[in-house]
Amino acid sequence: MGVLCLSLLAACGEAEAPVENAVPMNIASNAIEGEVTLAERLAREALGNPEALTFADPIRSRSEGVTIICGHYTRGEEPARRYIVVDNQDVFVEANMSQADMDASFAEFCTQGAQRPAQPAAPAPQENAQ
């Protein structure tokens, strides 16, 4: 399993920090900023805020209740590369991981059941549903 898969499993299993240990965040700005815009901003920051960076083809999926935004980015004339943002926190960009890990992670989290952001994410199917 790729690096992202392990990170996702670890993140899903983490308990929430007690309120006294919580890191304050700017809720108002995050509430206004859409999921895709936020994911693109986080990916841009992970890449060092380059000037000539454009984003395309955003899709949204959910895994164990966690929102995942995936898409492509290009820098200037370079070929398109991929990014994955998990739960508006963890950012994975193709420039910082192996192509094999990104291929596996993108296939698992960004193609199966993924939706365009304009549509609400479908609830995860329940196992053993009758």
Per-residue pLDDT tens digits of the chain, which is 130 residues long: 445 453 544 444 444 433 343 334 454 445 446 889 999 999 999 999 888 899 999 998 888 889 899 999 999 889 999 999 999 999 999 999 999 999 999 988 887 656 655 444 445 555 555 5
Integer Cα distance of 23 and 50 in angstroms: 27
Task: Compute the distance between CA of residue 55 and CA of residue 67 in angstroms, rounded to an integer.
Answer: 19
Distance CA 110, CA 40 (A): 15
What residues make up the domain containing 97? Answer: 32-118
Q: What pTM does this model have?
A: 0.64
Number of domains in the chain: 1
55 inside domain = yes
Q: Is residue 56 part of a domain?
A: yes
Q: Is residue 9 part of a domain?
A: no
Q: What is the pLDDT of residue 116?
A: 59
- 92 located within any domain: yes
